[in-house]
Amino acid sequence: MTLLEAKVDRLVDVKSNALHLRLAETEEEVAAAQALRYRVFYEEMSAKATAEMAAAKRDFDAFDKHCDHMVVFDRARGAGPEAIIGTYRVMRREAAKRCGRFYTAGEYDIANLLAYPGEAMELGRSCIEADHRSGGTMQLLWRGIAEYVLAHDVGLMFGCASLPGVEPEALALPLSYLYHHHLAPPALRARALPERRVAMNVIPVGDISPRRALHMLPPLIKGYLRLGGFVGEGAVVDHDFGTTDVCVVVKTEWVTDRYLRHYTREAPATDEDAT
């Protein structure tokens, strides 16, 4: 057993059956998370890899070295990096200062979010291996985020969340639904950069079927909404990833008692609140 394996006082440490979530502790574990991202984003979905990424079979950028990487291990696969089946990337203010900016700032004016007092963190690069995309795996990731939030006294979470496809007109229903029903209050409203902004207010509120709109939203975005999340103004088409993005904002004090109960170490991970 290595010293890292022997550690018991981890900042984030959540177990459920064969799954174990914690922060990546070695370069090899970060590389395994990047390899998982590559398989999901570039091989399974429609993201466009650079030549360097394709050669390495990993998704990486300049932000990675400044971030914390949550990783989920399937202990039935082993105890090393090869067992990683889920990941989430998080970046706090101090790390963003070292890097120069938050990733989200490449798509949105986040001045309102940066002005928020206290600790803020960005969420991104979430993915799960295809054969582990159950409610329980996503619940485990959210429980890990909750532990991270509590450990760092984070008051605000935000990040770019994606809808599949680069044709906003095909996404008019879910984008309009988000605009009319989940637009962030002005003080916390990120705005798409003018040169990248795609209108979300396309369909009048009276012509929207919330049921149909919710059915079109990816599970991750619905998960943010269940946590009390809001979206910024304007969508952004990301041709490199083959997605249309919205900026999601969650004040941690808005998280309901129900979710706090589920996303803490004492509560078991179940499929009850699966996104």
pLDDT at 260: 54
CA distance 160 to 166: 15
Residue 27 pLDDT > 90, yes or no?
Answer: yes
Q: How many CB atoms lie within 10 A of CB 154?
A: 21
pLDDT at 262: 53
Most confident of 146-155, 179-188, 222-231, 246-255: 179-188
pLDDT confidence bin for 9, thresholds 50/70/90: confident
What single-letter amino acid sits at 184? A
pLDDT at 10: 87
Residue 8 pLDDT > 60, yes or no?
Answer: no
pLDDT at 268: 38
pLDDT at 226: 87
pLDDT at 254: 63
What single-letter amino acid sits at 228? G
pLDDT at 253: 75
Domains in the chain: ranges and CATH = 3-262 (3.40.630.30)
- Structure confidence by residue, pLDDT tens digits, 116-170: 999 999 999 999 999 999 878 988 998 899 889 989 999 999 999 999 999 999 9
Q: And the tokens for 161?
A: 């969340």
Q: And the tokens for 70?
A: 């949550």
CA distance 132 to 37: 14
What pTM, to 2 d.p., does this model score? 0.88
Q: Which residue has the tokens 């039935």?
A: 76
Q: Which residues pair with 54 in a beta bridge?
A: none
Contact, 266 vs 150, CB < 8 A? no
Supply the mean pLDDT for the chain: 89
Residue 271 pLDDT > 50, yes or no?
Answer: no
Q: How many CB atoms lie within 10 A of CB 147?
A: 22
Longest dimension (CA), the chain: 61
Residue 244 pLDDT > 70, yes or no?
Answer: yes
Residue 74 main-chain phi, psi, to 5 deg? -95, 105
pLDDT at 270: 34
CA distance 158 to 15: 25
Q: Which residues pair with 68 in a beta bridge?
A: 90
CA distance 165 to 162: 9
Which of left, alpha, beta for 70 (phi over 0: left; psi -120 to 50: alpha)? beta
Q: Which of 157, 176, 150 is nearest to 88 (CA)?
A: 157
- Structure confidence by residue, pLDDT tens digits, 55-65: 999 999 999 99
CA distance 140 to 169: 34
pLDDT confidence bin for 98, thresholds 50/70/90: very high
pLDDT at 6: 44
- Give 220 or 84, the one with higher predicted confidence: 84
Which of left, alpha, beta for 125 (phi over 0: left; psi -120 to 50: alpha)? left
pLDDT at 60: 97
Residue 220 pLDDT > 80, yes or no?
Answer: yes
Residue 3 pLDDT > 60, yes or no?
Answer: no
